[in-house]
Structure 1
Amino acid sequence: MKLEIGSIVTRNSYNRDLLFRIVGFSEDRTIAELAGEELRLWADAPVDDLFVVDDKQMSEHRQVVKEKEDSSLKLFRQDYYLLRQKREYLSTNGYQYDQSYFELPGRVLHIDGDPLYLNKCLELYKKLGVPVYGIHMKETEMPEKVPALVDEVRPDILVITGHDAYMKSKGDVSDVNAYRHTKYFIRTVREVRRKYTNLDHLMIFAGACQSHFESLIKVGSNFASSPARINIHALDPVYIVSKISLTSFMDRVNVMDVLRNTLTGKEGLGGVETRGFLRTGMPIKTKP
């Protein structure tokens, strides 16, 4: 089958372990640039190492992925239900008052280096009821463009993500220059934190697959990837920031409570204790 941009492939040299989408070729078309189909991983490979996935295999794979995603969504909704019950109890003074109330979740600005992942994330935000403004932007452009966007949109929560990868041939695992896009994520967070210094006034998630977690936390991210330098799922940032968005501003969110609803877990994601952003109000004006 002919290889072309958009083809779904696996790598023979890696025992066909992960699915990738071809996003480009070298000038002589001997090397293909690859983006993970579900994971926020960027790679390249010789075209003769690639195997094109057929429709049957793709369908089987998507079913497995869907089951994992559905499980995470179910866990998240269970947690949200418990949080909502708590807010109802507090808002009605222990159910003493029959009073309707409204909620204002934290607003998210989601910057994504992958347009397809961005659309998937926006769909999930909608399911979870989280207000979001999403923009596709190349990782290399983020340090220059994101700070102005933050000033314009004024979000409560900022997501800086896309694709990344540790490249062993470029240096030691501790060297941020050995990562494809980590240095751009670091610069972006650093620039934003020059103005928005308080971690509870602007919550930041930064990183993608195999990103240099420690550096991203050090420059001011509340949550980041990837502590064990493993791959993370495309939707993981959404679950993390949605938990913060839908938690009351009066409560602090335990890191493990956030991570347990993700698809990757603590090996791929981590962070610091962070305050929620949701506020409740009343009354709801009814029509006469």
Structure 2
Amino acid sequence: MEVKVGDLVERKSYQRDLLFRVTEIKEENGKTLAILFGAEFRIEADAPIDDLIIVGQREYKAREKQVIDTLEKAYRLFQQDHHLAKQRNEYYSTGGYTNEVSYFQVPGRVLHLDGDPLYLQKCLDLYTKIGVPVQGVHCKETEMHEKIGGLLDYYQPDILVITGHDAYAKTKGKMNDMKAYRHSRHFVQAVREARKKYPSLDHLVIFAGACQSNFEALIRAGANFASSPSRINIHALDPVYVVAKISFTSFMERVNVWDVIRNTITGERGLGGIETKGILRTGLPFQYYEE
């Protein structure tokens, strides 16, 4: 069966370890190569056509069930944390439940830039399900640093997500060599441009990176949270869980890094960061008007 753009495939040379989506087929040095985007993880790769195995719908459905089970577990853990935080905020807002008062909450607003439109939509769906106010923009990784300034001016977010696809190739250099990464340097450039407008780590919280990204370089550039400390693949939805935790944490509190990443799908090997203030603000009274 001939491999086509849009097919779901696995690589024989990597023992079919990851599921990819074929995004482009091109000729290079007399060979036919496929450009691959991870179907579940934020990784970009290329492979010879003859190294690929097409994954049929029946096999994909079986794998998809495992993925859904993992996602539901992460979502339940996040909901438990969110419920506890909401109860704590309610306690303080009502003076230890001594006053019957209706209050409202204003969570942090997110601007999410993503190099993959399909992953962006998945993230937007999860933001909506959780209740995080968000604006999503599809933007190529190579163009993010050019567009970030105007987008920040327009949307005025509290939290910025800069993500897409990335990969680290040991054959191209050591872990501190930016040339060994597909898009880490573009993420770093975008973070630096954002920090020119918002130098304070508390005035704009930034998550940056994708699979196998240069974690140290992103943190040095000004990101609060980044991937990937151990240069492993991160799940497509991990950025959402990171920034949602910040969005729903009171601005009076500081969020411990472990509290942020412990309920993500990838965990501390794929995600890390620095101590960061929450964004959520609580107000009162809450007025209900019938329309």
Q: TM-score range by the shorter chain?
A: over 0.9
Picking from 84, 95, 98, the partner of 1:96 is 98
Aligned position for 2:193:
191
Aligned position for 2:16:
16
Deviation of residue 4 (structure 1)? 1.1
Q: Determine if the alignment matches structure 1 residue 122 to structure 2 residue 118.
A: no
Q: Which amino acid aligns with 1:220?
A: G
The alignment covers a number of residue pairs equal to: 288
Q: Which amino acid aligns with 1:189?
A: V
Inter-partner Cα distance in structure 2 for 1:286 and 1:9: 52
Q: Secondary structure at the match of 1:185?
A: helix
**Runs of 4 or more above 4 Å deviation:** none
Q: Which amino acid aligns with 1:87?
A: N
Q: Determine if the alignment matches structure 1 residue 4 to structure 2 residue 4.
A: yes
Deviation of residue 286 (structure 1)? 3.2
Aligned position for 1:252:
254
Inter-partner Cα distance in structure 2 for 1:275 and 1:173: 30
Q: Determine if the alignment matches structure 1 residue 216 to structure 2 residue 218.
A: yes
Give matches, 1:27-66, under 5 Å.
Answer: 27=27, 30-66=32-68
Q: Secondary structure at the match of 1:150?
A: helix
Inter-partner Cα distance in structure 1 for 2:147 and 2:173: 28
Aligned position for 1:177:
179
- Structure 1 alignment gaps of length 5 or more: none
Aligned position for 2:281:
279
Indicate the larger mover: 28-37 or 9-18: 28-37
Percent of aligned pairs with the same amino acid: 59
Q: Secondary structure at the match of 2:27?
A: coil
TM-score (norm 1): 0.98
Inter-partner Cα distance in structure 2 for 1:279 and 1:3: 51
Q: Which amino acid aligns with 1:133?
A: Q
Deviation of residue 178 (structure 1)? 1.0
Aligned position for 2:263:
261
Deviation digits for residues 215-263 of structure 1 (CA, Å, limit 9, x no counterpart): 0000100000000000000000000000000100111000001111100
TM-score (norm 2): 0.97
CA-based RMSD of the aligned residues comes to 1.0
Aligned position for 1:239:
241
Deviation of residue 20 (structure 1)? 0.1
Deviation digits for residues 122-151 of structure 1 (CA, Å, limit 9, x no counterpart): 000001100000000000000111121011
- Structure 2 alignment gaps of length 5 or more: none
